[in-house]
Structure 1
């Protein structure tokens, strides 16, 4: 079969009642090249056996002859930035081949039952299509429809029973509209639904009890409604297939943690950017073995019941950033069994102490974010953090940083924006895979000791800018053969020693705003890739 794609200016269509060249199968785009109206008739497509994709782009359609849209048996029709007075079912006629229909900012009015003759339609998408409401007959007879979306369509109302004929529907998206409620719209006929998205609307609540009608639901997106204050309607329906609940960016002041017993296979729970003051509160009574991600960022938590992590043995990502959590060594700090947590975010809280107690039960931890707290000392680092790859302690009150053993896999250490005065190379003795060391914006005056020969050979980036260094130990560079970037700007360094010339991989040397006597090295020939900033 010959398949081609071509684009016709309206001039050709206005000059001739049908396409000149015979094609067996085409993708046809009709675009506006300056003409204001277009007449569509069956004769327009007389010489085309079949159109796979028929697209109207930026045209004003004046007349559509009854049955003409499906006269060439298209599989997909797109109306993009194109207008028509009122589309109805007679313009389609019988159209067994049509599976996809898209209205993208089309500006046309669509009558009730327009799609009732499209029995094979599987995908129906509306994007920036002003509609205000979906009537109970708007989606009539679409029993084969699998994917339906209304995105940015200004929808205020969806009438009761509007989805009753959608027995095959799997994905429903109603995001970025103006919906205030969704009560009563999940009916038993939607029992094939797997994804429901009502994000960026204005919902004040969600009918949790209606989920009993959609037992195959896997993903529930209710994020960014900003007005949902409760999610606590009583429901005892077990949702075995529900894997994701996203309620981020709402106004939840509490969450029904006991509801989780009815979603035993939940993998992701997003509750960030709400008004929660407590988490769990003893209400989590069943083991959530499938839960992988729990997001509680940007709430009002002042404590966290770490012991409840026992009921989430396979949790991999826990985000508690931007709360009011302060550290106290209480029973709530004890987990009691090893977790599989890989990412822990405790940044932007009110921690005064390094949380060693809980870390001892996290042998798989790879990323630890503790930046923007009030931590002044780091001690008693657990010996089982061999998997840790990133440690973020920037923007704290550290005045000292002691040697840490068992950090062989650490790739990134960020200690910037603290109050360090001295830094000792011995801190890095057990960080043999370190690639990025960030010490900028401290008060470092001295770099003490000497690196071990093999402990920092993989270091690629060293940040010491914005400190109080008068001398930099240039001889230490011999232990960093892979160094690519060295940042020493905004110090008080006077001398640059010749040792940096041995760094064959060095690409950037930043020496701006120092007290350099002179920079006498010509690196253009020996180090052509090096960019020196003085």
Structure 2
């Protein structure tokens, strides 16, 4: 699965910087937020303190300028910096909030304990407090008075995630910069919870039980600088009203959104990322102006909804567009062409057919390099593919043929996946891949091929043809493929006699050859010198001769499991001289061969141990 994240950096209290996006290209799940850690900060204070203690002159100056923190005042099992600015009580099994703490404390970490309530008299006196981390405790709303935090006039960071709160704190100080109340049972937010907070930058409310009635219309009244709002995994049916105008990241995934009210996003001109996946959105629940005003939007995720077509009016600066797992049937000629910065288009798991894609659907998208259209209903390669596409995923469709001009304009393709379609050998035109001179990976596994196709690109590095009905490698079908490093032909019907003589020797860069699950009766000859891994398991091999691996001095792994080898059919010198051999697998053959496998495996382990000792 393709995954991409865009992380917005919140501004500090003293300076106002634009929210900056960073593209992380990976196939990954997107992190919702990062938990602030006080432990690293404590270690920093500790290191500085140790260095200062070695400098008597500096230490005497510090002693004159700053009040010391008596050891007796540091709570049991906790760690405290010498000046008392940092108190770290994380994960020490506290059941009560520490009492009698000095008012000089600036940062206190109490996460990962079992605290159930906070006595007001123990907290409100800490008027210098800037960071309070109480995440992963057992706090309930009953254990937190309404005005508990209001008098902490210097509090910037408040972390209450992973507790048992049913209501958000009613009053929070105006100094707040970041508030994390994720993973509670919160059903209601109050007007002054996040309202009137001029320095507030980020709010985390995901994994709660919020409904539309639990969010006031003016939740962010006079808190206009909020940049990150995470409301995912709640029970919202509508996009909240009056969202802060400075938002750059908005998470609303995993809710019950049915529609987006007109103008809900029109004032969010700085919005760069919006996550709307896994809701109940339909095309009727949005209008042509829903996203039009979002001129800085770069990441839009509308996957796993109930869309039947791509929404109109998408802004031109989108870089990543997720539309997978909907019911999209058509792509018109003008719905995507205005998105000039589009690079990633994810349309897999829809109901697209080739005739439902207009030939001009991708015209002008010069930056579009990755297109996913797997798990659709395509009966042929779609027309008018993006000219500059580099990665094209068309697997798990119903494509039965590849014509001469299907890829005539996609000359920049590097990765093409046509696996698990219905392609037959006779329906692959011998010039179908003639323009793909940059293609490095071609996947045709799981089709109805009877033989290796002709006209394969000469620059291929990886070729996958497994799970077909291939019974022959025709003469010269692999000729000229001197850059091929990996060839997968497993689970076919190949016999030694059906492979033309010298086929493997032509592959002068081949490192991996997978011929498992075929009908080979002995180890293929003329294997290339570069070969490192040879998979021959589940064949009908009855003998391994003395010179079977004579041409492969660099081989590291030989897999011969599940063949018809007998005790005397493996010649004594079959594996002699293979100094780089690390794995020899002849399991499920007879005992003598198995002993040879154990011998080489043990030898490999001993060599690795010797190398570790030398290092």
2:441 to 379, 390, 413: 390
Per the TM alignment, residue 103 of structure 1 is displaced from its structure 2 partner at its CA by: 1.3
Deviation at 1:284, TM superposition (A): 2.8
Pairing partner for 2:392 from 344, 359, 363: 344
Q: CA deviation at 1:342?
A: 0.7
> Is the CA contact 1:186–1:211 (under 8 Å) kept in the aligned structure 2?
no
Q: 1:374 to 1:56 in 2, by over 3 A?
A: closer
Q: Given the superposition, is the C-alpha separation of residues 227 and 288 from structure 1 closer, same or farther in structure 2, using an over 3 Å criterion? A: closer
SS at match of 2:205: strand
Paired residues, number = 504
Q: How far has the Cα of 1:264 moved from its partner?
A: 1.5
How far is 1:21 from its partner?
8.3
TM-score (normalizing by structure 2): 0.75
- Deviation track 1:40-98 (CA, whole Å, cap 9, x = no partner) reads 44x3235xx44434224322244423472571734322212232534246433544543
Q: In the alignment, what sits opposite 2:18? A: none
Q: Which moved more, 1:491-500 or 1:293-302?
A: 491-500
Counterpart of 2:450 (choices 389, 399, 404) is 399
Of residues 195, 199, 215 in structure 2, which corresponds to 1:144? 199
Match of 2:302 among 235, 243, 247: 247
Q: Does 2:208 match 1:159?
A: no
* Equivalent in the alignment of 1:333: 383
Map of 1:4 onto structure 2 = 46
Determine the structure 1 residue equivalent to 2:340. 289
- SS of structure 2 residue aligned to 1:473: coil
Give the strand-richer structure, 1 or 2.
1
- The equivalent residue for 1:9 is none
Structure 1 residue corresponding to 2:479, chosen from 413, 429, 433: 429
RMSD (CA atoms): 3.0
- Normalising to structure 1: TM-score of the pair? 0.86
Task: Give the structure 1 partner of residue 313 of structure 2.
Answer: 259
**By how many angstroms is 1:238 displaced?**
3.2
Q: 2:127·2:153 contact (CA, 8 Å) conserved in 1? A: no
| 2:278 matches 1:218 | no
Structure 2 CA distance for aligned equivalents of residues 102 and 161 of structure 1: 23
Aligned counterparts of 2:73 and 2:163: Cα–Cα separation in 1: 20
1:193 paired residue number:
247
1:76 aligns with 2:131: yes
Q: Is the 8 A contact 1:391 1:413 kept in 2?
A: yes
**Residues 148 and 63 of structure 1: CA distance in aligned 2, closer, same or farther (over 3 Å):** closer
Contact persistence 1:352–1:375 (CA under 8 A): yes
In structure 2, do the counterparts of structure 1 residues 207 and 244 end up closer, same or farther at CA, with 3 Å as the change threshold?
Answer: farther
Q: Distance in 2 between matches of 1:20 and 1:467?
A: 67
Structure 2 partner of 1:272? 324
Secondary structure of 1:428's partner? Answer: coil
| Consecutive unaligned residues in structure 2, runs of 5 or more | 1-41, 48-71, 587-615
Instruction: Confirm or deny that 1:52 pairs with 2:110.
Output: no
Mark the CA change 1:217 to 1:70 in structure 2 (over 3 Å): closer, same or farther: farther
The answer as to 2:583 corresponding to 1:531 is yes
Contact 1:369 1:393 in 2 (8 A): yes
How far 1:208 moved relative to its partner?
A: 5.3
Query: Of residues 508, 516, 520 in structure 2, which corresponds to 1:457?
Result: 508
Distance in 2 (CA, whole Å) between partners of 1:31 and 1:287 is 53
In structure 1, the residue matched to 2:493 is 443
Partner residue, 2:227: 170
The separation in 1 between residues aligned to 2:540 and 2:169, in whole angstroms, is 76
